[in-house]
Structure 1
Amino acid sequence: MKFLAVTLIVHRPDPVTGVLKPTHDRLREVVDNAVLAEELGFDGFGVGERHERPFLSSAPTVVLSHLAALTRRIRLFTAVTTLSLLDPVRAYEDYATLDHLSRGRLDLIIGKGNGTAQRELFQVTPEDQWDRNAESYDVFRRIWRQDRITADTRFRPPLKDAEVWPRPYQRPVRVWHGSATSRESVDLAARHGDPLFSANVTHPIEPYAELIDHYRERWAHYGHDPARLTVGAGTAGLLVARTSQEAAQTYRPVFEANLAFQKETGLPVVFETVEDFVERSSALIGSPQQIVDKVHRYHERFGHSVLHVHADAGGLPDSVHRDSLERFQSEVAPALRHALPDPPFPWEPVSPVP
């Protein structure tokens, strides 16, 4: 199994202290966390893309390019690239450049994105967002594979025998499809024979497991090799402590502050207590053995070979969060790497081109 540390670069007051960090400090924190993730042995670091409050992740290619210069081994992920909002030609130019700067360490996770404000910002409607996502991905993947492209597009000017530069380092780049609840994303992934990354954050396991089952059905429908099917899954939180009691006690203030925020802003409340959150959500909160057992339970249902955890402290003291990441890599990851399979492809650049 491979492990990613992921951030959406949320920028709101600390849920426990109420302190809001300056923007430059929050971005510096992301950079430091990526360098730490490589030092600790994580396999990848992901940066989200959002174009609305309270996120600072509107320019993931800029952030990831900076991280490419500061790291050497770790793979760099988008989480997710919101292709329904973007011109696929411009997105290709940015990511092909990043692909070269990182010497082929780029993986993309794409999706239509969430949020009414960012949809309105780019004048995308609920009715056309799925068609935009599918068209943008079709153009994007064709540009990556073909030196010239002709495309009769609906949502951007048509392309006729167009060249787009630079040509990529990886031929092709690996593209995952991020999905929270949508069968459309699942079907798009299966149609192209691409891996799926389940958000697996907000709810208990059942709805995510159902979507992954649907992905497997569609994968077979499109005639792909079952041995190549690949699933990744997210988690709702991380705190690895010496004992389960210590973990729950330490995480309780964070949970209660987040619960109060959900109620104040009218967000749906799924887990009413920290005990329920630890037990039924995907959060990895507990002793090392407790977390190993939980990942195994999810793996039995998902069959996933890649797992992401939170790169950010998210309300925990920085020292506690760092200790948790270190304990995860020293006491949890080795057991899971030994027992659970890796993805069915090399974790290196795909067919690097001179």
Structure 2
Amino acid sequence: MRFQVLTIVGHAPHPLTGELAPAADRLAEVVDTGVAAEQLGFDGYAVGERHAGPFLSSAPTVLLGALAARTSRIRLLTGVTVVAVLDPVRVAEDYATVDQLSRGRLELVIGKGAEAGHFDLFGLDESLQWEYQAEKYELLRRLWREENVSWTGRFRPPLKDVTTVPRPYGGRPPRVWHGSATSLASPELAARHGDPLFSANAVQPREAYARLIAHYRERFEAYGHDLRTAYVGAGSGGLFIADTTRQAVALFRDFYEARVRQSHRPHLEGRPGYNTPFRTVEEAVEHGPHLIGSPQQIIDKILGYHQVYRHDLQSITVDSSGLGLPQQIEQLQRFAEEIAPAVRAAAPTTLWQEAPGDDRATDLPTAHRTADDRTAERAGDRTAG
């Protein structure tokens, strides 16, 4: 198992005290947490993207650029890049820049996003969200894999002989995951292209996500891809570790249940993927994805999900716990020292065995491989002969 820390940079008043940190302080915390995650041995750090609601994650490329400058080893991911509302040309340019700054440590997780309001904000028709996502991702793939791209589609003006710059680091595009929460559309798109899947594993029962993952693996194989590369990630909600589960429940109860009330959106009642059904902390511990409890309770819970999902990457979130930054770092340290080693040993994976940049996509048109790629291939041919 690999582990990443995810932030969607929430910026709502504390549900118990009403306190609201200045935006500058909140953004600085995001970068400081990423630095700490690297020091503690986490494999990845992910920044979400939201354009509606109480969040400060509308410009994840800026935050990832800052993280690239402050870190040197940890992989940098998105969670998710809302490609459905964005121009693929701009996505290709912005994230290739981050990829260059981080020297190949970038990976995207794309999705249609978890906020219904962003389609109106960008003047888009929400009923076409899956069509937007499929077409824009197809174009992004071409822009990162080819030069002199000519293209015509439904949702943006045509392109003629376009080469986006900078090119991805090393001439190979970053790995792209597909965020999956409620629809079979994302697992289908991921399977078609042989890409990994990232299950939200957030506000629905486990069975709902298991259905999406099973569909992904079935279709991945049907499209002719090697199932050994059908990597799956899974979210988890918030993290709160205490010496015993009883202590964790007692300490976290008031905050958790106040946050559920604060974040409830009546206008989205009944729409899957928005309002959590786990209204009490006991329900969250017993049935929800939150990692609340003793180290052993959390180990057992992650491995319980792994029995169902067979996932390779576990995402955790620590900044939705109501704790200050020093306490959040302490939680990450406890996870890294008391939980991660046991889960890694019990659930091995081949994901990210190579150094960042070395495990990139190789399905590039021959004419567009870099000179270094072609030189290495010729050397390999000589050795084989």
Match in the other structure for 1:215: 216
Match in the other structure for 2:240: 239
Match in the other structure for 2:164: 164
Q: 1:221, 1:208 → 2: CA distance?
A: 20
Deviations 1:239-279 (A, max 9, x none): 12111111111111211212322458565451232111111
User: Using a 3 Å threshold, how does the CA distance of structure 1 residues 113 and 262 change in structure 2: closer, same or farther?
Assistant: closer
Question: Does the CA-based 8 Å contact 1:313-1:321 persist in structure 2?
Answer: no
Question: Does the CA-based 8 Å contact 2:103-2:357 persist in structure 1?
Answer: no
Q: 1:264, 1:52 → 2: CA distance?
A: 13
Q: 2:256, 2:242 → 1: CA distance?
A: 16
Structure 1 position 322, deviation (Å) = 2.5
- Written as runs of structure 1 = structure 2, the 5 A alignment for 1:241-260 is 241-260=242-261
Q: Is residue 19 from structure 1 mapped to residue 15 from structure 2 by the alignment?
A: no
Q: 2:183, 2:174 → 1: CA distance?
A: 24
1:337 alignment partner, one of 341, 344, 347: 344
Structure 1 position 123, deviation (Å) = 1.4
Letter in 2 for 1:280: H
For normalisation by structure 2, the TM-score amounts to 0.88
For normalisation by structure 1, the TM-score amounts to 0.95
- Written as runs of structure 1 = structure 2, the 5 A alignment for 1:69-218 is 69-170=69-170, 171-218=172-219
Question: Does the CA-based 8 Å contact 1:278-1:285 persist in structure 2?
Answer: yes
Question: Does the CA-based 8 Å contact 1:84-1:112 persist in structure 2?
Answer: yes
Structure 1 position 161, deviation (Å) = 2.0
Question: Does the CA-based 8 Å contact 1:3-1:308 persist in structure 2?
Answer: yes
Q: Is residue 298 from structure 1 mapped to residue 301 from structure 2 by the alignment?
A: no
Deviations 1:214-235 (A, max 9, x none): 1111112211111111100000
**RMSD, matched Cα:** 1.7
- Written as runs of structure 1 = structure 2, the 5 A alignment for 1:242-281 is 242-262=243-263, 268-281=275-288
Deviations 1:48-94 (A, max 9, x none): 01111211111111110011000111110011111111110111000
Question: Does the CA-based 8 Å contact 1:68-1:102 persist in structure 2?
Answer: yes
User: Using a 3 Å threshold, how does the CA distance of structure 1 residues 272 and 112 change in structure 2: closer, same or farther?
Assistant: closer
Deviations 1:157-205 (A, max 9, x none): 1112222111110412100000111111110000000000000011221
Question: Does the CA-based 8 Å contact 1:176-1:196 persist in structure 2?
Answer: yes
Match in the other structure for 2:227: 226
Equivalent residue of 1:127, what SS? helix
Equivalent residue of 1:12, what SS? coil
Structure 1 position 313, deviation (Å) = 4.6
Query: Which structure is larger by alpha-carbon Rg, 1 or 2?
Result: 2
User: Using a 3 Å threshold, how does the CA distance of structure 1 residues 214 and 264 change in structure 2: closer, same or farther?
Assistant: closer
Equivalent residue of 2:127, what SS? coil
Q: 2:279, 2:349 → 1: CA distance?
A: 35
Equivalent residue of 2:233, what SS? strand
User: Using a 3 Å threshold, how does the CA distance of structure 1 residues 47 and 88 change in structure 2: closer, same or farther?
Assistant: same
Q: 1:6, 1:334 → 2: CA distance?
A: 19
Question: Does the CA-based 8 Å contact 1:239-1:321 persist in structure 2?
Answer: no
Equivalent residue of 2:228, what SS? helix
Question: Does the CA-based 8 Å contact 1:33-1:311 persist in structure 2?
Answer: no
Q: 1:262, 1:49 → 2: CA distance?
A: 17
Letter in 2 for 1:205: R
User: Using a 3 Å threshold, how does the CA distance of structure 1 residues 94 and 317 change in structure 2: closer, same or farther?
Assistant: closer
Question: Does the CA-based 8 Å contact 1:14-1:314 persist in structure 2?
Answer: no
Aligned residues: 354
Match in the other structure for 1:57: 57
Letter in 2 for 1:186: P
The farther-off stretch of 193-202 and 236-245 is 236-245
Question: Does the CA-based 8 Å contact 1:239-1:284 persist in structure 2?
Answer: yes
